[in-house]
Structure 1
């Protein structure tokens, strides 16, 4: 199937991977325990010397394994681990691959919950320096002898900043650093992080890949580009056999077995079904978001629109170079910040809710909700104004959304 296109591979993955009884989807495996005829076979699974196999569902099931195979295929990687949520995956990366005394360089525009995790890392003795990653020179200036990792998001939420993905990748390769890219907003359809040298790719499966706001999930994919044999934080029990698998093995053992961030089989199948329509949804929502962005940019009540495919976007050149389209995330600012809540309330189609990449358009005032806890100083550093509104554009017809915004903004 490697000679077929992106969606063709995904929709036929289960049946060609050997689904039972000729089924076109992998079944939901609910068993927690997995038994073997010989105890030696069980030992091989425990010690990681067996090719495949399951022992206890906290480390995965045949259903989560099928989803992992799909994500690996999407990202063009060598392996994936599924987690209960995207944040579980991010925490596993940080807490299983970093130690006290290590240093991380991260984007100053990261998702609010990720920013909160950085505070936890600091309490554990892991230092994080946050910089403007739209210029790789800022990352280079922040590097230290004990820097282990660089962490960025393909498209930042909510400001839609795009890092110098290629420049940072070259920098990480030069210094032997682990380059971690959160690809949630772009999705592996619009962008493959391996193309810029990322070693690990994070996806919140809840969002682009699942796509319907019906199941939580996350994934970490190893692209095969990072040399784990030279990484000092791999525990001795995992330094066996092919070094290419050391990173994922430690993530699975520590992130799933020890920390318990396990994805259920029921959620895994629902997310796998959502993945089949990823291409269609990303193309539709990207086209609608661009049309809406152009409309808002021309409206007198709007002071600024943030969408990567607008020519006015500060990183538009990066977007055109790396992305197939702009995705579903769109933010804008009202000239009169006092109109922020009234405009949201006058809109009839967008649902006033947190979350992203649902089938339905979602709207939220940013400073009052998802970045309220961060405080005004952090918001200012991230470019989040009091009048900023975030949209997650859904599958509605663009004409209906445009008409709704027309009436809602008339009073502004």
Structure 2
């Protein structure tokens, strides 16, 4: 029995485990801690190893019944055809690049990406994979960067920390025209606010640690195949995985190389925590988006603040893109001060926001960007990403909006 598809977003998530066959009438999938999975007949074990069976497990590095239940839930959320979960969001990002690209290939990536993703792009270049970083808010600039050996285009729906939004539709059309794999990191928006399948993405990446898990208590990542990309035409699929229906080739290679070979495996305990967190995704995204918008609107009126970056503001450069694609603006906002010397004192005066890295916790988090998460990138890279020395990133939590605004008011009074 499966969850009725006519039910809405949260209803489907809440009842996915129960209607998907959780053991003993449980409403949540059990935590399966076994590493090995045995069979009465060795032929059945062989079928699992060779990928000819419709299900089954052999060794937990490639998945467990608990991670499989989370994968099914994420597939449903992103309206895809299949999902693989990983130990972290960065493990998922690295799996995409390292299992689907090879030396001599060319990758076009947005210049507005998460700091660690930017670091990985440098590693790819060292491995012989050519990388071009461009302003993906303009699909013409993506088009201009394409080469005969381009294999993939990678963007984030809402960039961290500058909240830039790529031309999602334009890039999708470009990738369809040229037969390129379009990879969209949907971490900040989440599948509740936006589904990349609607703009033609072939693969969707989510850091489950953030929006989907939402409680800052478990690391995880995921790759969802939307079913839109033609893997039979992709030259980098290994011969061993060019068997059966071509629609499954991409995920098969990602699972074998990203989990079996590279070991980026999500534990069953973490999968269970993330699945529980996902049940309240819509409620949290609605609440944090509304508070973030209110805070952004208030900050924009403050004399000490030089600019506020939030997709829900008319002043945002890609406000039209946000209005077209997203239900709301999400929990991420950044702002800068006229006086960079006030950046750290302001952070210290704030009482409710926790001075910590990380995103999408139930509690509001703040961090001075240039001094911490983008310090290693250096001034030149920060300039290309439009990150000023006084930028403060805010991950808005579930606090009562009035309390949060009052705290920012007392903190800014000292500027």
Shorter-chain TM-score range: over 0.9
Q: Distance between the aligned counterparts of 2:192 and 2:407, measured in 1? A: 29
Q: Distance between the aligned counterparts of 2:364 and 2:91, measured in 1? A: 25
Counting only pairs closer than 5 Å after superposition, residues 128-277 of structure 1 correspond to structure 2 as 128-277=131-280
- Deviation for aligned residue 1:187: 0.1
1:125 aligns to 2:121 (yes or no): no
Q: Distance between the aligned counterparts of 1:236 and 1:11, measured in 2? A: 40
Q: Which of residues 96, 115, 118 in structure 1 aligns to 2:118?
A: 115
The match for 1:93 is 96
Question: What is the root-mean-square deviation of aligned Cα atoms in Å?
Answer: 0.3
SS in 2 for 1:35: coil
Q: Distance between the aligned counterparts of 1:307 and 1:110, measured in 2? A: 16
The match for 2:16 is 13
- Deviation for aligned residue 1:142: 0.1
Q: Which of residues 322, 333, 338 in structure 2 aligns to 1:335?
A: 338
Q: Distance between the aligned counterparts of 2:259 and 2:240, measured in 1? A: 16
The match for 1:309 is 312
1:396 aligns to 2:399 (yes or no): yes
- Deviation for aligned residue 1:31: 0.2
Q: Distance between the aligned counterparts of 2:371 and 2:5, measured in 1? A: 46
- Deviation for aligned residue 1:306: 0.1
1:281 aligns to 2:284 (yes or no): yes
The match for 1:345 is 348
Q: Distance between the aligned counterparts of 1:320 and 1:119, measured in 2? A: 33
SS in 2 for 1:330: strand
SS in 1 for 2:182: strand
Q: Distance between the aligned counterparts of 1:191 and 1:81, measured in 2? A: 19
- Structure 2 length normalisation: TM-score? 0.99
Which digits, 9 at most, give the CA deviation of each residue in 1:33-90, with x for residues without a partner?
0000111100000000000100000000000000000000000000000000000000
- Structure 1 length normalisation: TM-score? 1.00
- Deviation for aligned residue 1:123: 0.8
Which digits, 9 at most, give the CA deviation of each residue in 1:153-186, with x for residues without a partner?
0000000000000000000000000000000000
Which digits, 9 at most, give the CA deviation of each residue in 1:222-249, with x for residues without a partner?
0000000000000000000000000000
Which digits, 9 at most, give the CA deviation of each residue in 1:334-386, with x for residues without a partner?
01000000000000000000000000000000000000000000000100000
- Deviation for aligned residue 1:125: 0.2
Q: Distance between the aligned counterparts of 2:16 and 2:285, measured in 1? A: 20
1:45 aligns to 2:44 (yes or no): no
The match for 2:106 is 103
The match for 2:303 is 300
| Runs of 4 or more consecutive aligned structure 1 residues displaced over 2 Å after TM superposition | none
Q: Distance between the aligned counterparts of 1:269 and 1:95, measured in 2? A: 27
- Deviation for aligned residue 1:215: 0.2
1:411 aligns to 2:380 (yes or no): no
SS in 1 for 2:394: strand
1:325 aligns to 2:328 (yes or no): yes
Counting only pairs closer than 5 Å after superposition, residues 69-84 of structure 1 correspond to structure 2 as 69-84=72-87
- Deviation for aligned residue 1:198: 0.1
- Deviation for aligned residue 1:13: 0.2
1:378 aligns to 2:381 (yes or no): yes
Q: Distance between the aligned counterparts of 1:108 and 1:26, measured in 2? A: 40
Q: Distance between the aligned counterparts of 2:125 and 2:246, measured in 1? A: 29
Which digits, 9 at most, give the CA deviation of each residue in 1:373-402, with x for residues without a partner?
000000001000000000000000000000
